């Protein structure tokens, strides 16, 4: 605690010395406007924001390493791009929409770079990548130009953007709660970077959006790519299609196509049936010997064998590095079983269709990704069961599961046992989710409960109250 206090005092002394000398560390006096903008209180406060909050995220990422460190580096690039834009705002006039898009391009490029890291096959650190990438949309508050621009106010935009990222950030907290404190520290530091960090910064300095200079330089959109002004004009287009040897025709003499040709034929006065071929008896389907309607045995076998393979790759059911069961590209397999597993192993199911997988034993985590008409039956899970990007899946828990999350899924049936009735179910961007629970007695029917997917938001007492939509049959 004392070391942090000393560091902050030293930082404050350096800033005061720089202010008294009329310059700032890292900025030369001849830089003129850049130096003046960098000494602005809002820019100084942004540096304080990075020193106070982002340093925690960076320190935790260095301890974790790997993809978490990589995405944190991209995070630093995005905040650095934001600072550069804030300095430019002090020196530039408010641009038009085309100029604003060009102005924001450096920040947008970094955000796209972060989103690219979440694409492809999901890694073990997917939640870290997704939380960081989704959180960067909060930096777009700088694009706010007024109520008519279609964006929320800057403070609200930061809070709403973090809510999108918090879904994956909470997954990190649950997954590593009792396993690795570095991951927990990274997730907590990431949240504090935005709320309260960035939110309070915007609230203090830019509650109504960026303040542009009235006398600064103008920002123009990038010129369209084309020949330089000194280059000769391009030749005129050819009179006819490059793939046609016919001479050009006027639109009136050119033959009509599509429905225009149909109406032209009708209006010509000729019999409509002129030119139609006559169907003889041997051309009729019922009299053709090659259309028996019977499927040969070799055709049936080839069709059945093709169901076992996916266009994405060969099917897999294997244990990798002794820690992760991988089930991929299984199609039409109803008897998949994992029976040799323990509580330290995870199960990842990807790209399966019309299959059933039984997990006989306790595992740490289960992830079902991009599966269609897939059935999963498991006994116990230590951390969570996740269903992502699926369509028409059924999941049955025969033992206990602390958390079940459903994300971007259409059609999901969850069967809970009596030991898993206290399971926490989290849903996001999903529809048609039904949860079936056992009845009170052994002979009672299962009770089916549909989870709401529509909500009503009402502003009351200074905040929004959210309630599920209820449909009455009256």
Q: What is the DSSP string of 369-411?
A: ES-EEEEEEEEEEEEEEEEES-EEEEEEESS--SEEEEES-EE
Give span(s): CATH 2.160.20.70, the chain: 316-468
Residue 3 has a pLDDT of 64
Residue 15 has a pLDDT of 61
Query: How much helix, strand and coil, in percent to the nearest 5, is found in the chain?
Result: 40, 20, 35
Report the alpha-carbon angle 216-219-221, nearest 5: 170
Residue 224 has a pLDDT of 47
**pLDDT tens digits for range 114-161:** 989 988 888 889 999 999 999 999 999 998 888 777 788 999 999 988
Tell me which architecture the domain covering 316-468 has in CATH: 3 Solenoid (2.160)
CA atoms within 13 A on the CB side of 233: 3
Task: Tell me if 395 sits within 8 A of 415, measured CB to CB.
Answer: yes
Q: How far apart are CA 474 and CA 472, in angstroms?
A: 6
Give span(s): CATH 1.25.40.330, the chain: 35-206
Residue 177 has a pLDDT of 87
Q: How far apart are CA 82 and CA 77, in angstroms?
A: 9
**pLDDT tens digits for range 172-221:** 999 898 889 999 999 999 999 999 999 999 999 999 888 888 777 776 55
**pLDDT tens digits for range 388-406:** 999 999 999 999 999 999 9
Backbone torsions φ then ψ of 98, nearest 5 degrees = -65, -40
Pairing assessment for the beta strands 463-468 and 455-460 based on DSSP bridges = antiparallel
Query: Which residue(s) pair with 391 in the sheet?
Result: 372, 410
Residues of the chain whose pLDDT is less than 50? 19-32, 224-233, 235, 237-252, 299-310, 473-474
| CATH superfamily assigned to domain 35-206 | Adenylate cyclase-associated CAP, N-terminal domain (1.25.40.330)
Q: How far is CA 68 from CA 186, 317, 388, in A?
A: 9, 28, 21
> Smallest Cα–Cα separation from 193: which of 359, 39, 60, 382?
60
Residue 241 has a pLDDT of 40
Q: How far apart are CA 54 and CA 354, in angstroms?
A: 46
Q: How far apart are CA 92 and CA 205, in angstroms?
A: 18
Check residue 19 and report its DSSP letter: H
Residue 217 has a pLDDT of 75
Task: Tell me if 313 sits within 8 A of 333, measured CB to CB.
Answer: no
Residue 91 has a pLDDT of 86
């Amino acid at each position: 605690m004392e070391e942090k206090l000393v560091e902050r005092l030293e930082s404050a002394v350096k800033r005061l010395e720089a202010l008294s000398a009329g310059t700032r560390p890292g900025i030369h006096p001849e830089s003129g406007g850049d130096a003046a903008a960098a000494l602005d209180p809002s820019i100084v406060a942004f540096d304080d924001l990075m020193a106070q909050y982002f340093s925690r995220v960076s320190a935790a990422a260095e301890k974790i390493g790997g993809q978490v460190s990589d995405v944190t580096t991209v995070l630093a690039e995005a905040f650095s791009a934001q600072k550069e834009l804030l300095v430019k705002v002090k020196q530039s006039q408010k641009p038009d929409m085309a100029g604003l898009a060009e102005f924001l391009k450096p920040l947008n490029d970094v955000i796209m770079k972060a989103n690219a890291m979440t694409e492809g096959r999901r890694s073990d650190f997917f939640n870290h990548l997704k939380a960081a990438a989704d959180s960067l949309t909060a930096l777009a508050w700088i694009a706010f130009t007024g109520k008519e621009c279609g964006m929320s106010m800057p403070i609200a935009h930061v809070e709403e953007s973090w809510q999108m990222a918090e879904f994956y950030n909470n997954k990190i907290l649950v997954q590593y709660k009792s396993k690795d404190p570095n991951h927990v520290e990274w997730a907590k530091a990431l949240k504090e970077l935005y709320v309260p960090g960035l939110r309070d910064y915007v609230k203090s300095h830019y509650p109504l959006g960026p303040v542009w200079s009235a006398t600064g330089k103008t920002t123009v959109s990038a010129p369209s790519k084309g020949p330089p002004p000194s280059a000769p004009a391009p030749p005129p287009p050819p009179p006819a299609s490059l793939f046609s040897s016919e001479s050009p025709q006027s639109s009136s003499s050119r033959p009509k196509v599509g429905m225009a040709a149909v109406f032209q034929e009708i209006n010509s006065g000729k019999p409509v049936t002129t030119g139609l071929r006559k169907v003889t008896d041997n051309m009729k389907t019922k009299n053709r010997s090659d259309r028996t309607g019977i499927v040969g045995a070799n055709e049936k076998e080839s069709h059945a064998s093709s169901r076992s393979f996916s266009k994405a790759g060969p099917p897999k059911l294997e244990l990798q590095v002794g820690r992760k069961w991988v089930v991929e590209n299984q199609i039409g397999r109803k008897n998949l079983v994992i029976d040799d597993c323990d509580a330290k192993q995870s199960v990842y199911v990807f790209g399966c269709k019309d299959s059933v997988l039984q997990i006989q034993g306790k595992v740490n985590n289960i992830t079902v990704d991009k599966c269609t008409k897939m059935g999963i039956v498991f006994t116990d899970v230590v951390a969570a069961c996740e269903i992502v990007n699926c369509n028409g899946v059924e999941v049955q828990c025969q033992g206990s599961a602390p958390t079940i999350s459903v994300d971007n899924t259409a059609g999901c049936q969850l069967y809970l046992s009596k030991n898993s009735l206290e399971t926490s179910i989290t849903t996001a961007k999903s529809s048609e989710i039904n949860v079936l629970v056992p009845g009170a007695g052994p002979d009672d029917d299962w009770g089916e409960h549909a989870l709401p997917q529509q909500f009503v938001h009402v502003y009351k007492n200074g905040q929004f109250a959210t309630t599920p939509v209820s449909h009455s049959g009256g």
